Chain A
Amino acid sequence: MSPFLAEFVQLLLNGVMAGAILAVPALGLTAMFAVLRFPNFALASHATAGAFAGYVANVSFGLPLIPSLVFAFFFAGLLGLVSDEVVLKPFRAMGAITTAIGSIALTIAIENLIRFVFANELRGYDLPIARDMIVGGVRIGPQQMQNLAISVVIMGLVFAFLTFTRMGKAMRAVADNPMLADIKGINADTVARIVSFGGMGLAGLGGMLIGLDTSIDPLTGFRAMLSVFAAAVVGGLGSLPGAIVGALVVGIGEELCLLVLSPSYRSAVGFLAILLVLVLRPRGILGQRAY
């Protein structure tokens, strides 16, 4: 393989892996938007909270990776449930913009709470060191492959929940037509609680998956936020399959831009993706149908 082609394939592969990880919190964000109809910026701090909860489970309690991820999901989910109930729910009657601003305040508060407890230093998970595989000049890390597999399984579980469970279908019904869902007896408050739990749980999982690749600090979620939002907007905010497509587009775009740009311009890809979609196709690649 020529060096250029090898670099291209390497970046493409890295992009797919980054996109798959990005898809997890993007699914959470878009699911919450589909049901609650406001962009929840508190996703950033919940991703960080999940990353630190997983860190405590993995490093302090010595749990293996999968149980730590489960712990990250439940911790961030419960935090999301409580923070929505206590902080964001009272804002909802005042409209989407007010609630979104409330969610920014919430995320700053949670982020600083995490900083207060864990300080600013970088922390890494306790993972076995494994040698990268090199296939045709392309480097593949076992941890990256594992992260990809975990992300795919999580996406499968989310779609299975929405397709086969009564509550999953009720959630889609509320996203589709909230008034009719109310008439049919679906309790919108219960659905809101479950989507807050599940959406923020996915954010927490995403935060930990991002941290597995590098390290974590109180800004882990905040740094990923632009890419997560770009993924959800590019795919069509409120569309779950769109979140996955958008995450892959943004993930691959961020990596491929390294062919021509320095890494410091990488985050511009997220802004550019949002800009292009809003100008050319404001409803996103797959539109805004939830499912």
Chain B
Amino acid sequence: MSKKRINRPLKIILLIFIVALIVAVALYITNYRNKTIIIELSLYSGNSWGVPQNFAYIIYDRAVEMFEERYKEEGYRVKLRTGTMYKDYSEWFAQLVLKGKESDLFLILEEDFNTYAAIGLLTNLDKYIEQGKLDVSTFFPNALEAGQYQGSQYSLPIGIVPSMMIVNNDLLRSFGLEIDLDNWTWEQFYELCRAITVDLDGDGLPDRFGVEGYDWHHAFYTNDTSLFDVDNLKAGFNKERMEELLIFLKKINALNRGVVIREGAFESGRVGFKTFNLSEFRVYGSYPYKVLRFNQFDWDVLPFPHGPQGESKSKLFTVQMGMSSRSRHKDVAYKFLQFISSDEQFQHQIWNLSNMLPVNLRVFDDLYTSGVILEDGLKPLSRPFIEDIIANSYIDPNFKKFPIIDRYITQQIYTIIAQDQDIPTSVLNLQELIAEQLQ
């Protein structure tokens, strides 16, 4: 009697198990028959360097086209998720992540990278790179570094945009000024700016300015190496160098007497220097924008001036693509990722269809040896100059809290300068603030 009773629930469980098994097998078979593997890719329009780009998705359309052609037999398909502006992308994508609906592949904003790598959203690519026999030495090392977190590769770069300064030669010449690039220091830069900053209409406020778009980031890396000592949870900068930086920023900021330089001031010929990047160069420096914006004066590009204890350095913008750790087709997704970041044929398209530089060294080499870059009316961007700029570029630190702490530091430095706070005390405060935030 008791045996029968025991058996009934066991039978039910067995039945449920068998039914589940059948359903699973059926699903698996139908899924497998439908052999077309579709991977999805999330994109934004716009970019981190703030330069408008026409046909933002064209480069990705091309990538998809070439990739699908390459893997015709396997029948891989790539679907693009587009329509989100750069400024909304972070939240939009975060919501997808939260809902568990993120795409297999996605572009990663620089400030999101550390968070996504830290929370485990990004797949560690080391294993795939090894399996896919990806030769990492063909990448610009800095660009690759931007996709690394705790020593592992979590995203791969597609293109890069180096940044630099642009100078209004006519304006300088009109003041009888000349730049000595062999001794391109803060001191010289400040003197030049001071000479240019003039009150023309006699209202007590300057109408002509030294520099547009220059902030503490540009200055910091040209005098010191690292902001943070993450391992020891404290600030990593040198106190003396930070004092020099703050004094310099204060001085250069004081020249404007509180006047905020409007956008477009440089283009109208009223500013001596401006922070600039390759993408802007390609948009404004060539037809038709060149005519509109930079045709009125003679201009040139130059590296950032360096502080007393550093060397010229600039920020390297990269476009990084990562793979979700929850992707169901990681192998295929990685194939696309490797394709878009390292396929030479496609990397040529980066130059043709976007305002970025290809991330592949051999393609970069091709562009110069074939003369494509110089043909494009980009004479000032000589190969040694660009190579130098890229080699001497920095990428932002890659720990999770960096974006927040960066915002804090920016705020703090702004306060120090605006309220004319005591420099040594401020440096100590800054150190404390960073240590506090790192905890």
Q: A and B bound?
A: no
